[in-house]
Amino acid sequence: MKKLLFILLFLLPASLCMAATTQIGSPWAVATVQTAINAASDGDTIELTGSGSAAWNSQISIPSTKGITLRVSGGTNGDWNEARTERENTNFPITITTTLTSVSLILITCNSGNSLSRVTGFKFQNTGTLGGVWSAVGVISIRGAGDSAFRVDNNYLDNISAGQMITVFNSSDSRLTGVIDNNTLHDCYYATDPPYGPYGVQVFRLYPTGSGNCAGGAGWTDDFTYGDEHFVFVEDNLIENTAEYTLGQVTTFRYMRHMIEGEMGASFVARYNTLNMSVPQPNAEGQLSGGHGEPIDVHGLCLCTGSGHGFRGAEIYNNKFLGTDIGNAIVPKGGSWLIYDNEFDGTLDGEYVLWLEFRARPTVCASTCSSLCPCVDGYHQCATDDPDYYPLPEQIADTYLWGNTDDDTPITSTVDPSNYVPHYIQEARDYFESDDLADAKVDGLDAGYTPYTYPHPLTGGSASPSGTVVVEGGITESDVVTGGKALVITLSDDTWVATVGADNAITTALIAGIDSNKSEATGWDAVVKANMVYTDVARTSDTVVTITLGEEATYDITASETIEVTIPATAVASEVEIVATPTFIISVDTPASSGHAIGYSATGHGAAYNASGHTVTSE
């Protein structure tokens, strides 16, 4: 009866079934990977296995017709050390190199109704230079078409030369949201123009409204609410430029102009990042010139016929600013900002937060700002202290700061003293230096403000298997034959959907994700997993599922099996697939033992399925 039910469940429509995973081994050719993406369905995963390196000299594209996860098996940027200055326990089995110059290495095009598009677990290096500044060409570029989401995480960009490293270009009237998290950008630079330097993470809204070349207008007509999901989230990344390189007899510097940057109606949240700027600005030959980069910078309304509308707004909190060569740490030139609880532990040659307004600087505006801006009412190329000019369109407003420190000493922001800037940007009117969140709400911040969920829901949670099938020393092959053991899967930072364990496609997909690394005719996949049905799966709490293994008289293996549990996105509230850790091993019976043993594998991953009476629990 169990086998009949299992067969019937797999006859459900494809749209209800678990997304598929296609594994690709060495040499990981571009054509092979792209062919797999083209053949995949929405929600599928393309997984690169093994270790080594591959040259990708043509673009990989995830099209707008589907959401795909592209990942390296075992690829991870690990965890923060205690001081949040370095990443520990990293593992990048596969390094991708490229000689591309005119197109992004990986292009993701999101679209309404698609599953999450994700790139994770890669190490990237290049020769030559990817694109130019503002070209939208980088290592990974994300474009939006409709309400959709993406995730770029756990990648290592190593000494990349490019105009920008990770770019987000929302080119539709709908909202593109997503998260860029747990990546390292290490000593990335711009070989074509070393003193200009590249951008690390760059966010554009782009979609035009009104007449003229005024990209980004939708960012100023959309609702803008602090604390909601309609931002691009940049969190838990390490962006560092720390080293000098000797080329022959010449010392050269890997310099980055801005580590996080926004323009054209964009909005982002930058939180829990460490930004280490310890390399000075070089000259054209890559040698020391004495200038300094600015870790976070945005463009305001000025060059509207070329750069469109100004940046819309940001939340900057719980970041760590390190390094010996920081200019101004945060440079807002327009829009609305929350800046709080940041640590400034580096050496600054400028200000912690510097408020700028180019239109109020006669020496700058005449040569930099557009003479006309047809899509913005009340635009002035060069503003004076005429009271009728205030407020300037898209200038700094509705902005609050609190809790920012340097070596535990509270710090404040600074208004550019040049020309008429202090006339347009004033404390207690356009921005507020508050004591804390409660005081900011007294000063005018929305009383309902709370930060958006951290970590971002798109990052999902984690899962740990335990129970009587995952014990020190393991269980034997005979234990699997006898049955009665339990696998418990416990979730962290996520919850099981209410219908896990019911007679439905979600439970079927969960069972299908308990997978062996072998394919023996009488092994785990062919016997134990094939005999599991929904009655073996019990949701015992919001965070725990237990799967009970039944008797499996025909289970018989000739080599140990490693079992990994992959929890489908449909089974958890975050709607993000989770690979449980550690894996566990079922060992072959030996003369000294009458059963196979299930123990922990060297990789530290683990998961298990219920066959016909054993219990598996997940939380």
Q: What is the pLDDT of residues 346-371, one digit of tens each?
A: 788 899 999 999 999 988 888 889 88
449 lies in the same domain as 492: no
Q: What is the CATH number of the domain that holds 205?
A: 2.160.20
Residue 600: its H or E element: strand 598-600
Q: Report the pLDDT value the prediction gives residue 463, as an integer from 0 to 100.
A: 86
Q: What is the pLDDT of residues 35-64, one digit of tens each?
A: 999 999 998 999 999 999 999 999 999 999
130 lies in the same domain as 245: yes
421 lies in the same domain as 505: no
**Could you say which of 457, 474, 489 is where a domain stops?**
457
Q: What is the pLDDT of residues 168-191, one digit of tens each?
A: 988 777 778 899 999 999 999 888
Q: Which domain holds residue 571?
A: 461-618
Q: What is the pLDDT of residues 207-216, one digit of tens each?
A: 765 555 578 8
- Confidence tier at 465 by pLDDT (50, 70, 90): confident
- Confidence tier at 218 by pLDDT (50, 70, 90): confident
Instruction: List phi, psi (to 5°) of 189.
Output: -155, -175
451 lies in the same domain as 465: no
- Could you tell me if 182 and 154 are in contact, meaning their C-beta atoms sit under 8 angstroms apart? yes
Q: Report the pLDDT value the prediction gives residue 1, as an integer from 0 to 100.
A: 39
**Could you say which of 395, 426, 457 is where a domain stops?**
457
Taking phi over 0 as left and psi of -120 to 50 as alpha, with beta for the rest, 291 belongs to: beta
405 lies in the same domain as 473: no
Q: What is the pLDDT of residues 85-143, one digit of tens each?
A: 999 999 999 999 999 988 999 999 998 888 889 999 999 998 778 777 767 788 999 98
The CA angle 149-13-618, to the nearest 5 degrees, is 65
Q: Is residue 13, in this structure, part of any structural domain at all?
A: no
Q: What is the pLDDT of residues 387-430, one digit of tens each?
A: 889 999 999 999 999 999 999 999 999 999 999 999 999 999 99
92 lies in the same domain as 203: yes
pTM above 0.75, yes or no: yes
448 lies in the same domain as 468: no
Q: What is the dihedral of CA 294, 297, 301, 302, to 10 degrees?
A: 20
136 lies in the same domain as 77: yes
- Count the domains in the chain: 2
442 lies in the same domain as 467: no
Q: Is residue 108, in this structure, part of any structural domain at all?
A: yes
Give one DSSP letter per residue of 3-35, joined into a string. Answer: HHHHHHHTTS-GGGSPPPEEEE-TT--HHHHHH
Please give the Cα distance from 29 to 57 (Å, whole number). 10
Q: What 3-state class would DSSP assign to 310? A: coil
Q: Check whether 15 has a pLDDT greater than 60.
A: no
Q: Is residue 8, in this structure, part of any structural domain at all?
A: no
370 lies in the same domain as 487: no
Q: In terms of DSSP H, where are the helices of 22-155?
A: 30-39
Q: Report the pLDDT value the prediction gives residue 245, as an integer from 0 to 100.
A: 65
Q: What 3-state class would DSSP assign to 179? A: strand
3-class DSSP string for 275-291: EEECCCEECCCCCEEEE
Q: Is residue 129, in this structure, part of any structural domain at all?
A: yes
- Could you tell me if 385 and 419 are in contact, meaning their C-beta atoms sit under 8 angstroms apart? no
Q: What is the pLDDT of residues 487-536, one digit of tens each?
A: 999 998 788 999 999 999 999 999 999 988 888 999 999 999 999 999 99
Q: Report the pLDDT value the prediction gives residue 30, as an integer from 0 to 100.
A: 96
Q: Is residue 3, in this structure, part of any structural domain at all?
A: no
The beta strand positions in 182-266, using DSSP E, are 184-186, 199-204, 232-235, 238-241, 244-247, 250-253, 258-263
**Could you say which of 423, 440, 457 is where a domain stops?**
457
> For residue 326, what are its two tokens?
């920081």
Q: Report the pLDDT value the prediction gives residue 595, as an integer from 0 to 100.
A: 41
Mean pLDDT of 254-279: 93
544 lies in the same domain as 600: yes
Q: Report the pLDDT value the prediction gives residue 146, as an integer from 0 to 100.
A: 64
536 lies in the same domain as 435: no
